[in-house]
Amino acid sequence: MSGVSNKVLMQQKSKQSSIKAKAYTTKQKILIIANTISGKQQMKKYLHSVQQLFAKKGETEVKITQSKGHATELAKAYGDDVDMIVCCGGDGTLSEVITGLMPFDNKPELGYIPTGTTNDFAKSINISKNPELAANMIIDGVSRHYDVGLFNNKYFIYVASFGIFSRSSYAATQQMKNTLGRLAYVLEGAKEVFSLKSYHLKITTDNEVLEDDYLFGAISNSTSIGGVIKLKDPNILFDDGLFEVVLIKYPKNILEFGQILHALQTGQYQQSDLITFVHTKKAIIESNEEMPWSLDGEFDPGAPVVEVTNVHRAIKVVH
Ligand SMILES: Nc1ncnc2c1ncn2[C@@H]1O[C@H](COP(=O)(O)OP(=O)(O)OP(=O)(O)O)[C@@H](O)[C@H]1O
């Protein structure tokens, strides 16, 4: 009996090693889309070595983004011809690449080298901040599915947020971010704390309808939001078809404001009456005043009715 199972095991092993050998000998077509001005412009220094690392895996080509939206155009133009797109940049550049890939039925795999300022998505999934280490993680990596968010007709990869701290994610200028790094966001955020604005909203999730005055809200697929809010919950999965909704009520007094900050700092947001935390597939947010949004850290003007839907397992990220 044990002889038979050993034989089966050996056959399986030899089958596995031939699959592995095939994966290494098949040359892939790899496009590297790099935003060399994101974050501290790290990619300027690492572009050559990163390209050389990928040259071991396949035929590589590099395209450097020239303006806002360019990464989407590049992903759209080349997405059908390549096996993998490696995106180098911050959350904004990653979001642009994914937007370019979404129309394809047969999407190439995606590798991500985080060289932005906050890199929330990379933090959530433990991708190295060192570009060469991140490149090696992709080269030896495993392909995993990720859900993508659809915000009316726009895509986002990890968060759509409004209210306090959302403005700071896009209001800090690139020059400020390059010079000050995360401090640029903190300074912009501090300005927002002094002008606490409330939004009266009706929010419909899969299981409930909520109506209140809110200070902040996020619909996310991440454990890190704007580098400020950290979500700790074993039920946060990136391919479960569900988003996490975090809503912070407008505090009526300084005491409540203190309670909110304490709950966020200590990760006790699920126990606070001032914070709502739910999982949902879809959310509809209705507002009767103008309310700007931040999609993956980039400004969006929003709309009176915003419908956010989870596009289940829409992309494959290798890491
Ligand atoms: N050559 C360029 N000139 C000006 N803007 C560019 C250029 N290339 C890309 N962009 C834009 O820069 C913006 C910011 O990029 P990105 O979000 O990747 O970096 P970041 O803001 O430093 O990092 P993070 O979002 O992680 O904080 C994006 O909206 C992108 O479209």
Nearest protein Cα to ligand 1, atom 4:
67
Using most ligand atoms within 8 A of CB, pick from 32, 36, 38, 73 the residue to mutate for ligand 1.
38
For the chain, which domains are there? Answer: 2-154 (3.40.50.10330), 159-307 (2.60.200.40)
Write the ipTM: 0.95
- 179 in ligand 1 pocket by Cβ < 6 Å? no
| 63 has pLDDT over 90 | yes
What is the per-residue pLDDT across 137-158, written as a single tens digit (0 to 9) for each?
Answer: 999 999 999 999 999 999 999 9
3-state SS of the chain is: CHHHHHHHHHHHHHHHHHHHHHHHHCCEEEEEEECCCCCCCHHHHHHHHHHHHHHCCEEEEEEECCCCCHHHHHHHHHCCCCCEEEEEECHHHHHHHHHHHCCCCCCCEEEEEECCCCCHHHHHCCCCCCHHHHHHHHHCCCEEEEEEEEECCEEECCEEEEECCCHHHHHCCHHHHHHHCHHHHHHHHHHHHCCCCCEEEEEECCCCEEEEEEEEEEEECCCEECCCEECCCCCCCCCCCCEEEEEEECCCCHHHHHHHHHHHHHCCHHHCCCEEEEEECEEEEEECCCCCEEECCEEECCCCEEEEEEEEEEEEEEC
- 91 in ligand 1 pocket by Cβ < 6 Å? yes
Place 189 in a pLDDT band, splitting at 50, 70 and 90: low
Query: Of all atoms in ligand 1, which is nearest to the CA of residue 93?
Result: 18
- 100 in ligand 1 pocket by Cβ < 6 Å? no
Judge whether 298 counts as a catalytic residue: yes
What is the per-residue pLDDT across 223-267, written as a single tens digit (0 to 9) for each?
Answer: 888 667 888 888 899 999 999 999 999 998 889 988 988 888 888
**Catalytic: which of 61, 286, 298, 307?**
298
pTM, two decimals, is: 0.85
| 218 has pLDDT over 60 | yes
